[in-house]
Amino acid sequence: MIALADVTIAYGTGPRAVVAVHDLTLAVAEGEAVGLVGESGSGKSTVLRAIAGLIPYASGEITLGGRRVQRRRSTAERKMTQMVFQDPYGSLHPNQTVDQILALPVAIHRLDRGEARIVQALAEVGLGPEHRYRYPHQLSGGQRQRVAIARALILEPRILLLDEPTSALDVSVQAEILNLLARLRRDHGLTLLMVSHDLAVIAHLCERIGVMSRGHVVEITTATAMANNQVTHDYTRELLRSNAGFDRSGADRNLDVTAA
Contact between 211 and another protein by CB under 8 A: the answer reads no
Cα–Cα distance for residue pair 149/134, rounded to 1 Å: 16
- Give the other-Cβ count within 10 Å of 172's Cβ: 8
Contact between 130 and another protein by CB under 8 A: the answer reads yes
Q: Which of 44, 117, 131, 146 binds another protein (CB under 8 A)?
A: 131
Q: Which of 17, 116, 123, 227 binds another protein (CB under 8 A)?
A: 227
Contact between 119 and another protein by CB under 8 A: the answer reads no
Cα–Cα distance for residue pair 4/44, rounded to 1 Å: 13
Contact between 93 and another protein by CB under 8 A: the answer reads yes
Q: Which of 25, 59, 70, 179 binds another protein (CB under 8 A)?
A: 179
Q: Who's near 90: CB < 8 A, 6+ residues apart?
A: none
Contact between 29 and another protein by CB under 8 A: the answer reads no
Which one of 10-18, 21-29, 59-67, 71-79 is the stretch in contact with another protein (CB under 8 A)?
71-79
- Least CB distance to another protein at residue 260 (A): 8
Q: Which of 9, 33, 62, 85 binds another protein (CB under 8 A)?
A: 85
User: For another protein, which is the closer residue by CB, 28 or 177?
Assistant: 177
Q: How many CA atoms lie within 13 A of 255 on its CB side?
A: 2
Which one of 2-10, 18-26, 98-106, 187-195 is the stretch in contact with another protein (CB under 8 A)?
98-106
User: For another protein, which is the closer residue by CB, 25 or 71?
Assistant: 71
The residues pairing with 61 across neighbouring beta strands, listed in sequence order, are 5
User: For another protein, which is the closer residue by CB, 21 or 147?
Assistant: 147
Q: Which of 113, 189, 200, 232 binds another protein (CB under 8 A)?
A: 200
What are the CB-based long-range contacts (under 8 Å, 24+) for 179-187?
Answer: 180/125, 180/126, 180/146, 180/149, 181/149, 181/205, 184/124, 184/125, 184/149, 184/153, 184/160, 185/33, 185/160
Angle at 189 between CA 57 and CA 123, to 5 degrees: 105
Contact between 242 and another protein by CB under 8 A: the answer reads yes
Inter-residue contact 61 to 68 (CB < 8 Å): yes
Q: Which of 178, 214, 220, 222 binds another protein (CB under 8 A)?
A: 178
Contact between 201 and another protein by CB under 8 A: the answer reads yes
- Least CB distance to another protein at residue 36 (A): 15
Inter-residue contact 63 to 3 (CB < 8 Å): yes
- Least CB distance to another protein at residue 125 (A): 15
Inter-residue contact 35 to 206 (CB < 8 Å): yes
Q: Who's near 38: CB < 8 A, 6+ residues apart?
A: 44, 197, 211, 212, 213
